[in-house]
Amino acid sequence: MGIDLVGFDQHLTNVIASLIGTLIVVDNLDNAVPIANSLHHRYRLVTSTGISLMLVVRCQVGRNTGGVVRR
């Protein structure tokens, strides 16, 4: 989990957990997709190179939104 990769003062644990508590860091995009599918997209996934995997959702008008964003 992302919270295990950052250093912070212990009194900030609740704040940090709220901000990045559902972030999972994976080694590459090829591994991120099956992990996201197996977890039913309940967690945010980002690769170690900064590619963020976002859930693709269908809007009421039928357009697809979301995708992969490189930061």
Tell me the pLDDT tens digit for each residue of 51-65. Answer: 887 654 444 445 555
- CATH number, domain of 35, equals 3.30.70.1620
- 27: which 2 tokens? 């080694």
Find the mean pLDDT for residues 41-49: 85
Domain count of the fold of the chain: 1
User: Model pTM?
Assistant: 0.58
Distance (Å) of CA 4 to CA 15, 45, 48, 50:
14, 14, 14, 17
Domain span at 20 = 2-70
12-44 pLDDT per residue, tens: 989 888 888 788 889 988 888 899 889 888 888
End-to-end CA distance of the chain: 19
Q: Which pLDDT belongs to residue 56?
A: 47
pLDDT given at position 11: 93
